[in-house]
């Protein structure tokens, strides 16, 4: 399976971290130069954004978010241009779990057309619930599972995308109107036809500071955060680190239900099962 790692050219620490992990697990990869939102011109932003839709989403009105979405879009373009049947997309700020290679090698034979399979998911606003039905077994006690509600799935930290799904995403995401991980929108608008996840998750965030400027560095809050992180002021730096860790644990927690997923029902109807 082709593996594409999105990395900002100036983020050398992240690049070395992900390269070290992939080499350790004997995974071939290709570094994809990320679009740096900080360098986007106003003229290009006028072309690259769906401004009417972006205005409805204040959280998206950040150059870092534009760059992130455009970076993923560049991979969809590449997959379609080179007719790549499926690929794994990784952001550079992840930790790869043990047995990663055997899991992704096995997933390839279980993919369906027009599908995205997430390697990690999180949600700060609602619980993530998966169905115990229609699962597929993977190595290392992992499974491919259906979500009960695609709305609950956030994060583009790691996912496998088929060529058909890449084609649909390529057509939908540009001009940018959604963040890179708007899976519910992609599914609802039929840019992708199916979405599943691997559990337990195969990757997780490494804890690097975000390159997406959700908090402006020029705001009072941003200046305080930057000062605390730069000078590692005790105990505020430790409290910030603890808060981030707790938020990650809470937002990436999930549970299972014996109920059947509506996503699985739709998929099996499409397949005529």
51-55, 73-77, 162-166, 234-238: least confident range: 234-238
Contacts of 192 (CB under 8 A, 6+ apart): 114, 115, 116, 165, 168, 169, 183, 186
Res 2 pLDDT > 90: yes
Torsion sign (Cα): 149, 147, 32, 38: positive
Spatial distance between the Cα atoms of 200 and 257, rounded to a whole number of angstroms = 15
Q: What is the mean pLDDT of the chain?
A: 87
Interval 99-138: pLDDT, tens? 999 999 999 999 999 999 999 999 988 899 999 999 999 9
pLDDT, residue 54, reads 87
Interval 137-182: pLDDT, tens? 999 999 999 999 998 999 999 999 999 999 999 999 999 999 999 9
pLDDT, residue 225, reads 47
Spatial distance between the Cα atoms of 86 and 114, rounded to a whole number of angstroms = 10
pLDDT, residue 58, reads 80
Res 247 pLDDT > 60: no
pLDDT, residue 206, reads 84
Q: 33 pLDDT band (50/70/90 cuts)? A: very high
pLDDT, residue 228, reads 45
Domains of the chain are 2-207+249-271 (3.90.550)
pLDDT, residue 128, reads 95
pLDDT, residue 74, reads 97
Interval 194-212: pLDDT, tens? 999 999 999 998 865 554 4
pLDDT, residue 244, reads 53
Torsion of CA 123, 152, 62, 69, to 10 degrees: 120
Top pLDDT among 272 and 192 is at 192
Highest average pLDDT, of 40-54, 147-161, 212-226, comes from 147-161
């Amino acid at each position: 399976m082709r593996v594409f790692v999105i990395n900002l050219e100036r983020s050398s620490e992240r690049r070395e971290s992900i390269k070290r992990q992939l080499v350790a697990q004997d995974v071939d990869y290709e570094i994809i130069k990320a679009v740096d939102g900080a360098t986007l011109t106003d003229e290009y932003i006028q072309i690259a954004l769906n401004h009417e839709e972006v205005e409805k989403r204040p959280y998206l009105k950040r150059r870092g978010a534009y760059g992130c979405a455009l970076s993923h879009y560049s991979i969809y373009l590449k997959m379609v241009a080179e007719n790549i049947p499926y690929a794994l997309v990784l952001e550079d700020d992840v930790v790869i779990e043990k047995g990663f290679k055997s899991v992704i090698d096995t997933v390839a034979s279980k993919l369906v057309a027009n599908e995205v399979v997430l390697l990690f998911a999180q949600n700060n606003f609602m619980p993530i619930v998966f169905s115990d039905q229609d699962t597929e077994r993977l190595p290392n006690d992992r499974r491919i599972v259906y979500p009960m509600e695609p709305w609950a799935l956030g994060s583009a930290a790691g996912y496998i995308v088929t060529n058909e799904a890449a084609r649909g995403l390529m057509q939908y995401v540009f001009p940018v109107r959604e963040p890179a991980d708007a899976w519910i929108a992609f599914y609802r608008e039929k840019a992708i036809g199916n979405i599943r996840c691997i559990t337990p998750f195969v990757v997780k965030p490494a804890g690097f500071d975000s390159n997406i400027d959700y908090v402006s560095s020029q705001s009072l809050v941003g200046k305080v955060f930057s000062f605390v992180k730069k000078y590692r002021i005790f105990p505020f730096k430790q409290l910030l680190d603890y808060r981030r860790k707790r938020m990650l644990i809470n937002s990436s927690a999930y549970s299972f239900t014996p109920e059947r997923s509506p996503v699985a029902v739709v998929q099996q109807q499409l397949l005529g099962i």
